[in-house]
Amino acid sequence: MNLKKFIPLIPVAFILGSLMFPWGCANTTTPPSGGDKDTIPPEMAKISPLPGTVNVNPHRTKLVFTFNEYVKIKDANGIFLSPPLEKKPKAVIKGKSVVVSFESDLDTNTTYTLDLTGAIADNNEGNLFPGFTLVFSTGPQIDSMCLTGLVQDFQTLKPMKAVTVMLYKDQADSAVFLNRPYAAAKTDDWGFFSIRNIKDTVYRVYAVKDENNNNMYDPETERIAFLDSLFRPSTVYNDSIYELKKFDMKDTALCLARKTDFELNMFREKPSKQLIVKKERVGVRTAYLTFMAPDAVIHDMRIKGLPREKLISQFNPQKDSLELWVNDQRKMPDTLQLVIKYDKTDTTGTLVPTEETVRLALDKKVRAELMKKANDIRSRKHEDTIAVMKTTADATTVEQYGYQIEFQYPLIEQAWDSLTMRSVNPRQQEAKMEFVLEKDSTNLRKFSVKPATPFQQGFDYFLKIPHRKFRDVNGYYNDSTELKVTLPKDDKLSSITLELSGVHNKYIIDLLTEKRDKVIRSFIVESDGPLLFPYLKAGKYCIRITEDLNRNNIVDTGNLLEHRQPEKVRFFKVEDQFLIQVLERSEMVWTLDIEEMFR
């Protein structure tokens, strides 16, 4: 940084200050009344030691940054030292200076960088100092190599902010668990990072969402990403490198123009220990268990005092959460005793079949509500006395998903042949229709009903569920309902068609909202051919493709010690953009070579 250009600003600042403030004003932190708001960030006027200083005394080292105005520390975590020490740097304000010190001595013969990005703002309006990186050495020379990269979520490919990227010269798998890194940096708002002034050697590269700020990886609570191979930087640092400049995070174009040496995909590992971590009785006949790790293995399970067949259970797709229902109409005690035998991690880290008795006590609020309804009939709601079911028929997705029926509790009596489906054509002619019932593979309370023949444009379709044909574990029967659906006729709607080729594995293809936080449609694809996304309103969408190598219909996470990355995720791009702009009345067709995308 060229400090000479800041020197002329100092007297100017004093002159302006004398015009704006009365000499008798003692509170220099109070802004003047009236006038334009100050939007100029603070500027650095002096640094000690100067950038590039060598042979800095490692004992009781202090770094002083003096500004052209009074400043405050907005975010202490933005003051980041590399290589990091056991404890974070301390920073205090003295006049117009920020003084940074360390609780322990620095290492000898080491090049250090101290970054101030996002840490300092002016005292009055909070204008953020754009940042500065000071490099100095406790030895006779400054290391000269640098690298850049990007950290993103492996499922959404969204940039990950405030992630600690770590370089290790120690190539042992245990290094990131036990030791602080040789060099480190924080990612910015765009997931971008740069690490400068490092030695010319090979490194293992990790990125950790360092929740406890100890500059190591804690697998039980933190997310991680890693580079598959060793990395050796090839770029020598200099002030003119575009990627190493300080950028306004609101300037999207400039931030996205930065090139990177590699990308890191961040994931959360499956926990290494298996045990029951949570239990809750959420109703008279309803409870659930949560396991620490997925893929829980249960050998046997029963409720004390009840036959085994009276217990209904269901895992979620990851098999780390188990729902439980009691199929018995007798009055249930306030506490149920669940005897469960499952594979639990013992003190040696080995999975061993273990029997536990889990107390499932009825929640006090639930008990009080039940007593109130039992004693006061006026407090009962209609849904307290029926088999509650949620029915949906979305016209834009009914062709793929059908009529969706989900009961709140498992059924003990069901009569699907009592349902009736009919269609009414544009000439108001009615016809009875055959239908197909599909049970959801992951939810025993959810069902889909579709006509045996394809839906037709201009037809109205009706599905009737009659009264008292379904009974749940609480002994209650359903209400009757009728669902109507008509395929969309809005001529403003659009469609996307992907002509797929190179499909040699199993892939999950999702149409997502603009923010990538909701799946609109999802397909499992195993062969070449067209893939249609119909009935789309004008707007922006994303298309995500996941390579499902183990064919389990789930996007699987990675494992650090097994050197296994999470399953690969790619986004279909149009003109190198994730977002697809869909206009009204458009039929968009693209070709997509899946093999090329994942090469």
The string of pLDDT tens digits covering residues 67-100 is 999 999 999 988 999 999 999 999 999 999 999 9
> CATH 2.60.40.10 region(s) of the chain?
494-597
Average pLDDT, the chain: 91
**Residue 29 above 50 pLDDT?**
no
The residue type of 415 is A
Compute the Cα dihedral for 442, 268, 158, 77 and give only its sign.
positive
Residues in CB range of 84: below 8 A, 6 or more apart: 180, 181, 184, 215
Average pLDDT over residues 317-331: 94
CA-to-CA distance for 333 and 312, rounded, in angstroms?
17
Which band of pLDDT confidence, cut at 50, 70 and 90, is reported for residue 381? confident
> CATH 2.60.40.1120 region(s) of the chain?
144-268
Pick the CATH number of 384-486 from 3.90.850.10, 3.40.50.11540, 2.60.40.1220, 3.40.50.300: 2.60.40.1220
Percent of the residues in the chain that have a pLDDT greater than 70, as a whole number: 94
Asked whether 520 and 489 are in contact (CB, 8 A), the reply is no
For the beta carbon of residue 225, count every other beta carbon within 10 angstroms.
26
Average pLDDT over residues 205-232: 95
The class that CATH gives domain 278-367 is mainly beta
CA-to-CA distance for 327 and 184, rounded, in angstroms?
56
Ramachandran category for residue 131: left, alpha or beta (phi over 0 → left; psi -120 to 50 → alpha) = left
CATH of domain 494-597: 2.60.40.10
Q: Tell me which of 29 and 93 has the higher pLDDT.
A: 93
> CATH 2.60.40.3710 region(s) of the chain?
1-142
**Of residues 40, 38, 39, 91, the one with CA closest to residue 62:** 91
The reported pLDDT for the residue numbered 130 is 86
> CATH 2.60.40.1220 region(s) of the chain?
278-367, 384-486
Alpha helices in 376-460 (DSSP H): 398-401
Q: Which H helix or E strand runs over 283?
A: strand 276-283
**Residue 14 above 90 pLDDT?**
no
* Phi, psi (degrees; rounded to nearest 5) at 173: -60, -25
CA-to-CA distance for 179 and 147, rounded, in angstroms?
21
The reported pLDDT for the residue numbered 12 is 41
Q: Which CATH superfamily is domain 144-268 in?
A: Carboxypeptidase-like, regulatory domain (2.60.40.1120)
The class that CATH gives domain 1-142 is mainly beta
**Burial letters 240-263, b for 16+ CB under 10 A, else e:** ebebbeebebeeeeebeebebbee
Which band of pLDDT confidence, cut at 50, 70 and 90, is reported for residue 466? very high
For the beta carbon of residue 42, count every other beta carbon within 10 angstroms.
21
The reported pLDDT for the residue numbered 35 is 57
Asked whether 188 and 160 are in contact (CB, 8 A), the reply is no
pLDDT digits (tens, 9 = 90+) for 343-366: 999 999 899 999 999 999 988 887
Average pLDDT over residues 415-439: 96
The reported pLDDT for the residue numbered 19 is 36
Average pLDDT over residues 382-391: 90
**Of residues 442, 380, 407, 599, the one with CA closest to residue 505:** 599
Question: Of 111-115, 273-277, 554-558, which gets the smallest average pLDDT?
Answer: 554-558
Average pLDDT over residues 246-252: 89
Average pLDDT over residues 222-227: 97
**Residue 53 above 90 pLDDT?**
yes
CA-to-CA distance for 548 and 505, rounded, in angstroms?
7
Compute the Cα dihedral for 531, 535, 540, 541 and give only its sign.
negative
**Of residues 590, 435, 412, the one with CA closest to residue 498:** 590
Token reading at 326 = 């009691």
The reported pLDDT for the residue numbered 163 is 97
What number of CA atoms fall less than 13 Å from residue 518's CA on the CB side?
6
Q: Tell me which of 25 and 313 has the higher pLDDT.
A: 313
The reported pLDDT for the residue numbered 319 is 94
Say how far residue 225 (Cα) sits from the centre of its chain.
Answer: 13
Which band of pLDDT confidence, cut at 50, 70 and 90, is reported for residue 385? confident
Q: For residue 389, what are the β-bridge partners?
A: 407
**Residue 215 above 70 pLDDT?**
yes
**Residue 13 above 90 pLDDT?**
no
Average pLDDT over residues 192-208: 97
Q: Tell me which of 467 and 124 has the higher pLDDT.
A: 467
The reported pLDDT for the residue numbered 365 is 80
